Amino acid sequence: RHIKQKKLQGLIDQAISECLPGIGNAVPDEIRQKYRLLTDCDLVMAMHHPNNPDEARAGRRSAVFREFFLFQMQMAQLSSSNKKRIGHAKKYDLGEIAALTKSLPFELSADQKKVINEIFADMFVDKQMQRLLQGDVGSGKTVVAVFAIYGAITAGYQAALMVPTEILANQHFRKISEMLEPFGVRCALLTGSTKAMERREIYKELADGMINVVIGTHALIQDKVIFKKLGLVIIDEQHRFGVAQRLALINKGDHPDILAMTATPIPRSLALTVYGETDLSEIRHLPAGRKPIISAWKTSDQMDDVYRLMREQLAQGFQIYAVTPLITESESMDLENAEALCQRLTHDFPDQRVVLLHGKMASADKDEIMTRFSEGEIDILVTTSVIEVGVDVANANLMIIFDADRFGLSQLHQLRGRIGRGQTQSYCLFVADPKTEAGKKRMQIVAETRDGFKLAEEDLKMRGEGDLFGKAQSGLPEFKMGSVVSDYPVMVAAREVAQEIVAKDPELKTDQLADLKHVLEYNKLVQARS
């Protein structure tokens, strides 16, 4: 219901007069004095009834610190409790791990070796691993996951890998089976498309412990999925799953180790705020021998250049992705759409096999099309961002992204990561006619920058934390006063102070922290109810 400004102001003033006299101070005196912050009482008055601009700025500055400080206190307490978290030490077989390393047809990168060592160090102690692995597209996260899986198996445990799509589940299953079955590992694939009889057999063999590792989608969290000894849970593209979904799989084991993976690099500034209780690993560099993708920004006036490159690549036997933001024509937005684009490319390339793929298709239809594309039976795949995650077709070495300015920088980088998987030179063209200088700058940045971590930082600066992935998917905290981007130094200061307090007094027993403890307990109650 609409409330007039005067009425709202009256309600605020009433709340202030009734509640302000009894208000305490969430930020302890010593910290307030160090950072020249207002008391909570003065802060409220400065925010609502400042006497001058300086007082208003002091009120906002104090409110931002207070908000970040309370958040970081929660994170510090959570991190402190996690240090005591129960887990089971996994005495993996180093000889078997060495044999797996020797079997690889390539040399592990320095980053991969470092991350594998970090994971094994976690698994070796009797504390539950909670680690997030960030790695750029094509950086070799799957191989790292295979080592973690095999390590858990040689220690006598089962492993589960959950991914967001059936296409990705099938791809991971093929790759992991190929690497581990020669070592006697039993792998299983469980998705919504798994036939009833096969599904029942998988349920039985998981419960009996005959299956060592299962790769699947949300199908893994069904009640009928019971493990004999689940010791490792890996969640790929973890921001695409809700907290409840992740917990449903984790709770199928007895405090299993947890490895979350994402190919959407999160800037460290955000990682500090969102994953403060989680250990962070990063793979920064691509495997040796991988040729950098040549990227360029083209306007719609340069479509002749786009078509020329498409014809050159098709003549050499390569395949093409043509990506667009929409499925069907939208009256409100003058964008390319997948159906119209498919018709146009079918007309303009009459000798090529042009097929449409989009997210609203049935899973079986999507899988069938991707299988045909993987096997070279489709020349041009017209698609939406459904292919953003995980699809791996080595012979597809050209991607055209239409209306590229409608995608975020990180998403464009994700899409581009679907090519460049083979040994040949790959190309990505961003077709866009941005109307603003900011839009033009974004196209220049993505065409010139191949580092997903740098692009994520740029995306964050240009669009803000709320738009980086979409709040619903990313699980980013929603701050009312502060911004992780513009107020980042305040976030860092609040984090340092919170960690110092919890290190000295994790249960906040001292009198000076009584108000802080009360506020944190109240906030937990509010969060539990929401």
Report residue 361's pLDDT band, with 50, 70 and 90 as the boundaries.
confident
Most confident of 44-48, 168-172, 416-420: 44-48
**Range 59-86 average pLDDT:** 84
Q: Tens digit of pLDDT for each residue in 367-386?
A: 788 889 988 999 999 998 77
Residue 181's pLDDT is 96
Residue 193's pLDDT is 87
Residue 475's pLDDT is 38
Q: Is the pLDDT of residue 271 over 70?
A: no
**Range 172-186 average pLDDT:** 95
Report residue 150's pLDDT band, with 50, 70 and 90 as the boundaries.
very high
Helix (H, G, I), strand (E, B) or coil at 140: coil
The percentage of residues in the chain with a pLDDT greater than 70, rounded to a whole number, is 88
Residue 468's pLDDT is 40
The alpha carbons of the chain give a radius of gyration, in whole angstroms, of 26
Amino acid occupying residue 348 = D
Pairwise CA distance, residues 290 & 43, whole Å: 55
Pairwise CA distance, residues 258 & 392, whole Å: 25
**Range 414-440 average pLDDT:** 88
The tokens for 437 are 């200088």
**Range 19-43 average pLDDT:** 91
Q: What domains lie within the chain, and their CATH numbers? A: 5-84+488-529 (no CATH), 94-283 (3.40.50.300), 294-449 (3.40.50.300)
Pairwise CA distance, residues 204 & 227, whole Å: 9
Pairwise CA distance, residues 328 & 334, whole Å: 11
**Range 479-496 average pLDDT:** 82
Report residue 273's pLDDT band, with 50, 70 and 90 as the boundaries.
low
Helix (H, G, I), strand (E, B) or coil at 429: strand
Pairwise CA distance, residues 282 & 456, whole Å: 14
Pairwise CA distance, residues 328 & 277, whole Å: 42
Q: Is the pLDDT of residue 332 over 70?
A: no
Q: Tens digit of pLDDT for each residue in 443-483?
A: 999 999 888 777 877 776 665 544 443 333 343 556 788 87
Most confident of 21-30, 45-54, 518-527: 45-54
Look at residues 100, 79, 113 and name the one whose alpha carbon lies nearest to residue 151.
100
Helices (H), 83-140: 94-103, 110-124
Residue 269's pLDDT is 59
Q: Work out the burial of residue 355: count CB atoms within 10 Å of its CB; fewer than 13 is exposed, 13-18 middle, 19 or more buried.
A: middle
Q: Is the pLDDT of residue 274 over 70?
A: no
The tokens for 393 are 């077709």
Pairwise CA distance, residues 43 & 59, whole Å: 5
Residue 1's pLDDT is 56
- What does the angle CA 345 – CA 350 – CA 356 come to, to the nearest 5 degrees? 40
Q: Give 44 or 86, the one with higher predicted confidence.
A: 44
The tokens for 391 are 């699809």
Look at residues 243, 178, 237, 166 and name the one whose alpha carbon lies nearest to residue 213.
178
Look at residues 369, 389, 387, 388 and name the one whose alpha carbon lies nearest to residue 379.
369
The partner residues of 258 in beta bridges, in order of sequence, read 130, 233
Residue located via tokens 């080595």: 394
Report the mean per-residue pLDDT for the chain.
86
Report residue 247's pLDDT band, with 50, 70 and 90 as the boundaries.
confident
Helices (H), 160-223: 166-180, 196-208
Q: Tens digit of pLDDT for each residue in 388-400?
A: 555 678 899 999 9
Residue 303's pLDDT is 95
Pairwise CA distance, residues 221 & 208, whole Å: 18
Q: How many secondary structure helices (H) and strands (E) does the chain include? A: 20, 13
Q: Tens digit of pLDDT for each residue in 499-513?
A: 899 989 989 999 999
The three-state (H, E, C) secondary structure of 210-266, written as one string:
CCCEEEECHHHHCCCCCCCCEEEEEEECHHHCCHHHHHHHHCCCCCCEEEEEECCCC
DSSP 276-323: TTSEEEEE-SPPTTPPPPEEEEE-GGGHHHHHHHHHHHHHTT-EEEEE
Residue 482's pLDDT is 85
Q: Are the CB atoms for 172 and 215 separated by under 8 Å? A: yes
**Range 88-114 average pLDDT:** 94
Q: Are the CB atoms for 116 and 110 separated by under 8 Å? A: no
Q: Is the pLDDT of residue 301 over 70?
A: yes
Helix (H, G, I), strand (E, B) or coil at 130: strand
Q: Is the pLDDT of residue 263 over 70?
A: yes
- Ramachandran region, residue 237 (left: φ > 0; alpha: ψ -120 to 50; beta: rest): left
**Range 244-255 average pLDDT:** 88
Pairwise CA distance, residues 206 & 219, whole Å: 14
> What Å distances lie between residue 277 and 67, 132, 281, CA to CA?
18, 10, 13
Residue located via tokens 């007094």: 505
